[in-house]
Amino acid sequence: MARGLLVRGESGGIRLKVATLGSGSRGNSVYVECGDTRFLVDAGFSGSQIARRLELLNVEPESIEAVVVTHEHRDHTAGIGVAARRWGWPLYLTRATEQACAPLLRGSEEIRHYEGEQPFQLGSVQIRPSSTCHDAADPVAVVILDPATGLKVGVATDLGRATTPVRNALAGCHFLVLESNHDEIMLRESGYPWSVKQRIGGTSGHLSNRLAADLAEDLLHPALGGFLLAHLSDECNEPRAAMDMANRRLRRKGYRGVVDVAAQDTPSRLYDVAALSDTARNGGPQLQLFG
Ligand SMILES: [Zn+2]
Ligand SMILES: [Zn+2]
């Protein structure tokens, strides 16, 4: 039965794939492809960096259909204006996020508005935005649904806390790009001013490794193929600390899928969501623990 998840698109490739071009406070962008539909969630790098990183994934910038912008912070939007003008990429933004991005836009970009909780179609996929708790004008997490296979990818970074609507939106995803921003002790002992520590660790800031693991554990189901931990702080986290926390919490629940950390300076591998989900589902007797 699980073999049925390996649905092939018109191009002959397995349909839904995802990679980060890079993730962290110096830039975030997630590449998604589903058959012939290719797009980015956020574009927080310079135009030349976006081109270089796409090239590493063997993706031509001209083949990208659009950018879905989650919120206006520069680590998510630095390249949206230049990329939209250079390659003609339409930008999907809420009206409030567009206003907050005004300094990056010159008026020649193609803007397509979406509403905070309204699903919309982008090529062959459906995008489901969900409002998040974060100190931006109208921030969202997004779930990408491939209607042909039922496979879903969630992209949820910049979460002050995971609200019930966000948890509900992410439930049932087969792959998650999930924020694991800081180690709580490293943040407490860091040299940041008190106000910055409050902002990062507060309910409108970023998820700690511990809170990310709480959320990841809540979202477990037998067909969840992978977590790509993202938006790690340079100052207050270590990839090993984020991985260890998530692995410790997830493996004891019988999770058999992938746990990786997204790097800041290089793209991740291109994850094949159907194959990962299939492997997790067939991962062995421990999956019985999910009930
Ligand atoms: Zn960010
Ligand atoms: Zn942000």
How many whole angstroms separate alpha carbon 150 and alpha carbon 134? 29
What integer is the mean pLDDT of 174-180?
98
Task: State the amino acid at position 148 in one-letter form.
Answer: A
Give yes or no for residue 42 having a pLDDT over 70: yes
Q: Which ligand ends up closest to the CA of 135? A: 2
Residue 289 domain-assigned? Answer: no
- Nearest-CA neighbor of 237 among 267, 261, 256, 204? 261
Q: Would the CA dihedral through 113, 116, 120, 123 be positive or negative?
A: positive
Instruction: Estimate to the nearest angstrom the gap between the alpha carbon of 26 and the chain centroid.
Output: 15
What integer is the mean pLDDT of 139-148?
97
CA of 35 to the centre of ligand 2 (A): 30
Give the model's pLDDT for residue 104.
96
In percent, how much of the chain has pLDDT > 90? 88
Which CATH number belongs to the domain containing residue 130 in this structure? 3.60.15.10
CA of 159 to the centre of ligand 1 (A): 9
Task: Work out the mean pLDDT of the chain and round it to a whole number.
Answer: 92
Characterize the bridge pairing of strands 16-22 and 175-179.
Answer: unpaired
CB atoms within 10 A of CB 162: 24
CA of 75 to the centre of ligand 1 (A): 5
Q: Which ligand ends up closest to the CA of 132? A: 2
Residue 286 domain-assigned? Answer: no
CA of 249 to the centre of ligand 2 (A): 26
What integer is the mean pLDDT of 4-19?
60
The secondary structure of residue 172, as a DSSP letter, is T
CA of 6 to the centre of ligand 1 (A): 33
CA of 2 to the centre of ligand 2 (A): 37
How many whole angstroms separate alpha carbon 138 and alpha carbon 95? 9
Q: Supply the angle between the helices 47-56 and 80-87 in degrees, to the nearest 10.
A: 70
Give yes or no for residue 10 having a pLDDT over 50: no
Residue 261 domain-assigned? Answer: yes
Residue 204 domain-assigned? Answer: yes
Give the model's pLDDT for residue 45.
98
Q: What is the pLDDT of residues 223-272, one digit of tens each?
A: 999 999 999 999 999 999 999 999 999 999 999 999 999 999 999 999 99
CA of 114 to the centre of ligand 2 (A): 19
Q: Which ligand ends up closest to the CA of 231? A: 1
Give yes or no for residue 203 having a pLDDT over 90: no
How many whole angstroms separate alpha carbon 229 and alpha carbon 242? 7
Q: Write out the H or E segment, with its range, that includes residue 201.
A: helix 194-201
The secondary structure of residue 182, as a DSSP letter, is B
CA of 162 to the centre of ligand 2 (A): 14
Give the model's pLDDT for residue 215.
97
- For residue 107, the enclosing domain spans 8-280
Residue 2 domain-assigned? Answer: no
CA of 81 to the centre of ligand 2 (A): 18
CA of 37 to the centre of ligand 2 (A): 26
Q: How confident is the model at residue 14 (pLDDT cuts 50, 70, 90)?
A: low
Q: What is the pLDDT of residues 22-32, one digit of tens each?
A: 999 999 999 99
Who contacts 251 (Cβ-Cβ below 8 Å, separation ≥6)? none
Q: Which ligand ends up closest to the CA of 100? A: 2
What integer is the mean pLDDT of 93-114?
97
User: Which comes out higher in pLDDT, residue 178 or 200?
Assistant: 178
Report the predicted TM-score, pTM, of the whole model to 2 decimal places: 0.92
How many whole angstroms separate alpha carbon 20 and alpha carbon 30? 4
Residue 179 domain-assigned? Answer: yes
Q: How confident is the model at residue 9 (pLDDT cuts 50, 70, 90)?
A: very low
Tracing tokens 């049925």 back to the chain, one arrives at: 4
Residue 126 domain-assigned? Answer: yes
Q: Write out the H or E segment, with its range, that includes residue 144.
A: strand 140-146
Residue 288 domain-assigned? Answer: no
From its phi and psi, is residue 35 left (phi > 0), alpha (psi between -120 and 50) or beta?
left
CA of 1 to the centre of ligand 2 (A): 40
CA of 23 to the centre of ligand 1 (A): 8
CA distances (Å), 19 to each of 106, 137, 147, 192, 264, in order? Answer: 29, 26, 20, 31, 12
In the chain, how many domains are there? 1
CA of 137 to the centre of ligand 2 (A): 10
User: Which comes out higher in pLDDT, residue 205 or 14?
Assistant: 205
CA of 222 to the centre of ligand 1 (A): 30
Give the model's pLDDT for residue 283.
73
